[in-house]
Amino acid sequence: MNIKMRIVAASYRQSDVTVELYGRTDDNKSITALYYGFKPYFEYVEPDEECIREIEKNPEYLQMENKKLFLDGGEVNVKRIYLKSPWKVPELRKICQCQALAADIPFHHRFIYDFDLGSTVEIEGENAEEEKKNYTTDLVIKIKTVKKTEDFNPELKIFSFDIENSISTREIFVIGYSIYFDGKIREGSLTGSEPEILKGFNELVQKEDPDIITGYNIDGYDMPLLEERMKFNRVQFSIGRDFISPRRIMDQYWRLHGRVIDDTWWEVRKVLHPKHETLNYVSNMLLNEGKENVNRLDIENEWNNRRDDVIKYCIKDAKLALLIYRKIRILDRNLYLSTVSMLPLDDVTNGGTSTYVDSLLIRRADRENIGVPMSSSKFSNDTYAGGYVHTMDPGLYDMIVVLDFKSMYPSMIIKYNICFTTLSPEGTIMAPNGARFLSPDVKKGLIPDLLEQLMKKRDEVKKQMREDKANYEYFDGLQAAIKVLMNTFYGVLGTSFYRFTNRDISSAITAFARHTIKSIIEDLEKSGNKVIYGDTDSIFIESGKDTLDEAIEFGNKLSSEISDREKLILEFEKIMDPLFSHGAKKRYAGKIVYPPSSAGEILVRGYETRRTDSFDLQSEALSRVFDLILSRDVDGAKGYAESLIKEVATGKIDTSKLVISRSVKNFSEYKNASSMANVNAAKKLIDRGEIFIPGMKVSWIVTDAGKTPQGVEPFIDGREFTYTPDYVYYSKRLQETLNRVLESLDKEVAVFKNPQSKITDAFNENPKKRNIEDFFK
């Protein structure tokens, strides 16, 4: 039988070291595909005879092969050692003092790399009837042959759940769930004795056989609670597709054979960076609906007196998490990344960016007989110069043409053949940092070649996107994923722990980028153009044109000339009219007038009008001031600022607009935790019986800025705030924030004096010049 499947997750069975591929077929059936006989291996670089004898007498040893690999600029002899058990590799790689290669690659990755599989595969195999009892999937097959195939996306089943439990005893009262599949949502709940609920949960997951398990904050609360209560009740936690329990990996994520555990809360934090992170806030923001009205802090009484309402509340929470998960389309994004990185969905969802790069680099390295070093466990604090910034003078500018480098760092790598395979003292390409690289006609670098292929592939996909309107969304997601992967290369190569990291390489990339943008700016200015700003990958030029058409013609001409000369693609991206900056590095705001698709939009960079550690009114006021300035109503901006500051100082403002939010780590990680507003707010939440998990965002309002430490009270979305804010503190913060913008236009707002102030004039007596970051603290 021939079957096509998308790989959701991959693992192996310890009892007989069988590789397990889990996923869905092209007709939406769940499937487990088994491969027998694949053996783990790693390599030793030039081991001595004593080392070889030690390995050969180890009971795990199977066989040894001689190979020649390229490593550190030359050819070396290596011994490839095959073993019986993957989990024994870490032990055997320590036997010899010589360097071990490819000895930290997860076994399922090793299988995928060696067979050069993608995220979708075609399998020739046969039914494994004797194995069916060991798995929950519709199909279980034995693999005869497996190969990558064209991309396709079967519908994946998503299971969301929520738990309500006793705060005092931790006993679980109810588990609510919501399931999405085949375009429909089904809901339900599990009640009864706690052992019945737990067994019912296992059976439900096994029966429904979802690909994705989600919920809101299940990573830090619901999953640990389930694990705890399963142990307490002596119930096996068997929700894997092989009936195995989930495992917590490095206190970062959960791994479950055959399924992806993906916390909606974590995804919301990464994608949206919301001001508040509660389910009620996020669901109202995205879905225009919130939680049911149940007092969770009094859940025991609520359960005893309003049981049906609590069950409804629990189911609703599970459904809201599911709807949010689908709304932010994180599954689509991860599926696209899975396709371009050629990895199972679980590895993309829960793995780091180095996993994406490994998938492409290690395959190529293996095929070109290049040694694969192990990743380092040592983190370095060494730094090197970052991107170049050509600073902007304060003021308003007209008809600004913006040119943007297409994939700046990948372009540098390709143009200058930068790679660990081309780094050589004999290289004729010398970077500004002194590193030398072989020219492409001598040896094409592995990384430049990969990036060139990815860039070409992205261009092809973008062409398909334009031509195939029916599949526009698919191709758009795919090209965006390729862009993410391309840019990931530089980020990974710049880390101290990555297996192919070399400081000379990462600093050479940024050095070439700095040199390129500086030389382009110099050439532009020599030609009589006025460059008002430049950063890592973009250049802002004052066009000096009176009409939009003239400015567009000017932008196209510059883009074409520079791209041809530099052998790079410098795209004409936009025109802003006007553009404002108060003169600080990487901070500006402009009104886009071209292209037509973005005309009228206000672009703000650096001021972060949406940053979550400001209070809403601060962000809204800054946005409004920018809007007025960019409409060339500078006096109106000053008048608005003066009026608003007075309103705040006299308490004529919505309290919810004064909320400040910030993430809170474990209290022990702070040197002076008791002096920090976010920590004190978190402690008060705990004292009031609220759930606090390190890493979550906490919200508060300042009630007395004159105290030491600052007086704050927690703010919980959807509940009445019964304390009085320190309005004068907020008015002064607002005044400072807006003045930082207005003073550069000679429109500074005076301090509003209010005799009701709770704080002293010391707020204004600090002689230190504040910068824009200070105003958001």
Cα–Cα distance measured from residue 119 to residue 21, given in angstroms and rounded to the nearest whole number: 11
* Span of 14-23, 116-125, 388-397 with lowest mean pLDDT: 388-397
pLDDT of 777 strictly over 70: no
pLDDT tens for 451-470 read 999 999 999 999 999 999 89
Please, what is the average pLDDT of the chain? 91
pLDDT at residue number 384: 54
pLDDT at residue number 774: 43
Residues of the chain with CATH 1.10.132.60: 616-776
**Tell me, what amino acid is at 158?**
I
Q: Which residue has the higher pLDDT, 211 or 691?
A: 211
Residue 410 gets which letter from DSSP? H
Closest to 244 (Cα-Cα) out of 254, 229, 232, 253: 254
Cα angle 469, 470, 471 (rounded to 5 degrees) comes to 90
pLDDT at residue number 381: 53
pLDDT at residue number 751: 65
Residues of the chain with CATH 3.90.1600.10: 395-452+483-605
What confidence category does residue 757 fall into, taking pLDDT thresholds of 50, 70 and 90? very low
Residue 613 gets which letter from DSSP? T
DSSP sequence for 721-756: --SPP-HHHHHHHHHHHHHHHHGGGT-PPPPPP-TT
pLDDT tens for 160-177 read 999 999 988 999 999 999
pLDDT at residue number 126: 96
Mean pLDDT of 355-377: 93
What confidence category does residue 582 fall into, taking pLDDT thresholds of 50, 70 and 90? confident
pLDDT of 767 strictly over 90: no
Q: Which residue has the higher pLDDT, 675 or 35?
A: 35
Cα–Cα distance measured from residue 579 to residue 590, given in angstroms and rounded to the nearest whole number: 4
Question: 298 and 320 in contact (C-beta within 8 Å)?
Answer: no
Mean pLDDT of 597-610: 82
**188 phi and psi angles, rounded to 5 deg:** 180, 180
pLDDT tens for 215-268 read 999 999 999 999 999 999 999 999 999 999 999 988 888 999 999 999 999 999
pLDDT at residue number 771: 41
Mean pLDDT of 337-353: 95
CA distance between the termini of the chain: 63
Question: 774 and 739 in contact (C-beta within 8 Å)?
Answer: no
Cα–Cα distance measured from residue 118 to residue 7, given in angstroms and rounded to the nearest whole number: 8
Residues of the chain with CATH 3.30.420.10: 158-328
Cross-strand partners of 535: 538
What confidence category does residue 758 fall into, taking pLDDT thresholds of 50, 70 and 90? very low
pLDDT tens for 391-431 read 888 989 999 999 998 888 999 999 999 999 999 999 999 99
Q: Centre a 10 Å sphere on the Cβ of residue 290 and count the other Cβ atoms it contains.
A: 18
Quick one: what percent of the chain has pLDDT higher than 70?
Answer: 94
pTM for the model stands at 0.86
2-148 CATH fold: DNA Polymerase; Chain A, domain 1 (3.30.342)
Cα–Cα distance measured from residue 360 to residue 502, given in angstroms and rounded to the nearest whole number: 18
Closest to 407 (Cα-Cα) out of 586, 595, 605, 569: 569
pLDDT at residue number 608: 60
Cα–Cα distance measured from residue 404 to residue 166, given in angstroms and rounded to the nearest whole number: 56
pLDDT at residue number 750: 76
Q: Which residues contact 234 (CB under 8 A, 6 or more apart)?
A: none
pLDDT at residue number 537: 84
Cα–Cα distance measured from residue 637 to residue 621, given in angstroms and rounded to the nearest whole number: 10
pLDDT at residue number 696: 84
Superfamily of domain 616-776: B family DNA polymerase, thumb domain (1.10.132.60)
Q: Which residues contact 72 (CB under 8 A, 6 or more apart)?
A: none
Cα–Cα distance measured from residue 713 to residue 730, given in angstroms and rounded to the nearest whole number: 15
Mean pLDDT of 24-42: 97
Mean pLDDT of 544-556: 95
Rg (CA), the chain: 30
Cα–Cα distance measured from residue 441 to residue 420, given in angstroms and rounded to the nearest whole number: 16
* Span of 117-126, 611-620, 644-653 with lowest mean pLDDT: 611-620
Could you say which architecture CATH assigns to the domain 395-452+483-605?
A: Alpha-Beta Complex (3.90)
Question: 438 and 430 in contact (C-beta within 8 Å)?
Answer: no
pLDDT of 97 strictly over 90: no
Cα–Cα distance measured from residue 39 to residue 497, given in angstroms and rounded to the nearest whole number: 27
Q: Is 327 in a helix, a strand, or coil?
A: helix
pLDDT tens for 665-708 read 889 889 888 889 999 999 999 888 888 888 888 999 999 998 88
* Span of 91-95, 232-236, 528-532, 584-588 with lowest mean pLDDT: 584-588
pLDDT at residue number 585: 77
Question: 247 and 254 in contact (C-beta within 8 Å)?
Answer: yes
Cα–Cα distance measured from residue 574 to residue 401, given in angstroms and rounded to the nearest whole number: 6
What confidence category does residue 378 fall into, taking pLDDT thresholds of 50, 70 and 90? low
Top CATH class, 158-328: alpha beta
Cα–Cα distance measured from residue 714 to residue 278, given in angstroms and rounded to the nearest whole number: 13
Closest to 680 (Cα-Cα) out of 657, 699, 695: 699
Mean pLDDT of 568-593: 90
Q: Token pair 């890493």 is at which residue? A: 695
Residue 687 gets which letter from DSSP? H
Pull the structure tokens for residue 367: 């095929």
Residues of the chain with CATH 3.30.342.10: 2-148
